Amino acid sequence: MKVRFNHISANPGAMQTMLKLEGFIQTSGLDSRLYELIKLRASQINGCAYCLDMHTRESRKMGETEQRIHLLHAWREAPFYSEKERAVLELTEAVTRISEQGVPQDLYERVRTHIDEAEYVTIIMAINTINAWNRIAISTGMFPETETR
Amino acid sequence: MRLNYMKVQPESLQTLLKLEGYVKKSGLDHSLLELIKIRASQINGCAYCLDMHTKDARAMGETEQRLFMLSAWREAPFYSEEERAALALTEAVTKISDAGVPQPLYEQVRKHFDESQFVNLIMAINAINCWNRMAISTGMVPGDYQPAVQK
């Protein structure tokens, strides 16, 4: 595999702008482990290997279990995600695949039983941010380093 | 409308406007930017954004015909090679989970855009994808948008 080019050196202004998006989420008060779950699930759907590698590492450092990461693809069928996490994961899937059916009203209502309007907007911004990183990484051909055992 | 995100979370709007401001000043042609925004909004099904950007594009002098044919741009003769490359990239990046950005498409786009401009195109596609997701998720209703006379 070959990186197409380094987007940071080719266009530092774009990177600065992306960091503003990321900065907004970081200071928004959103739970950082929940944010990692959002990033992992979106990156799984979008197929971003670089982002998956980065965020599985970040999640593990934050104390996330290997099991919860492995089963994230199948979170609906696993008992160890909280009701709030389930609502946010479902929202992450709907918003990442926005062209399929938007955000149905029953999903919106389910999510809003766990979070208020401001946190709802923050979570949409979080999903937007990881979707943007995924698109940059995939488009410029970024890939993860092979781990040495 | 489900909620007014500008009111309940003004910081989110400020952040999106920074992204939009970056794209606006990136040097990409503004009528090309409107084509990107309209095509992404068609794919994502964002009625509010379609209403806004078709009005903006018309106000900037875009023809009705080029906007009406945009979803079938491959089969229409009146888009430039540069626009065709940017539209193909817009579709691939908006539908990123389908096939990513295949190498032939990357090479086609790079014939018309250098590395920095390529990143700017990705940022433009990212920006409209963000607006689409915000508008759809918060249930924004189309219809009343009025374009500024001088964009």
pLDDT value at position B150? Answer: 52
Task: State whether A13 and B22 contact (CB < 8 Å).
Answer: yes
Among B8, B45, B100, beta carbon nearest to A99: B45
Phi-psi region of A143 (alpha: psi -120 to 50; beta: other; left: phi over 0): beta
* CB of B92 closer than 8 Å to CB of B101: yes
Query: Mutation test of the interface with chain A: which of B2, B5, B9, choosing the one with the most A Cβ atoms within 10 A?
Result: B9
pLDDT value, residue B149 = 61
The pLDDT score that the predictor gives to residue A149 is 64
Q: Which residues contact A8 (CB under 8 A, 6 or more apart)?
A: A15
Tell me the per-residue pLDDT of B86-126, one tens digit each, with 9 for 90 and over: 999 999 999 999 999 999 999 999 999 999 999 999 999 99
DSSP B28: -
CA distance B48 to B65: 21
Minimum Cα–Cα distance from B105: chain A residue? A139
Per-residue pLDDT reduced to its tens digit, A49-103: 999 999 999 999 999 999 999 999 999 999 999 999 999 999 999 999 999 999 9
Cβ proximity of B132 and B41 under 8 Å: yes
For A22-53, what is each residue's pLDDT tens digit? 999 999 999 999 999 999 999 999 999 999 99
Tell whether A122 lies on the interface with B, counting CB pairs under 8 A.
yes
- Average pLDDT estimate for B133-139: 98
> A42 contacts in B (CB within 8 Å)?
none
Give CA separation, A15 vs A18, A105, A142, in Å.
Answer: 5, 35, 14
Model confidence at B61: pLDDT above 60: yes
pLDDT tens-digit profile of B29-55?
999 999 999 999 999 999 999 999 999
Residues of A in contact with B123 (CB under 8 A): 14, 17, 136
Which domains does chain B show, CATH number per domain?
Answer: 12-137 (1.20.1290.10)
Q: Which domains does chain A have, with CATH numbers?
A: 32-139 (1.20.1290.10)
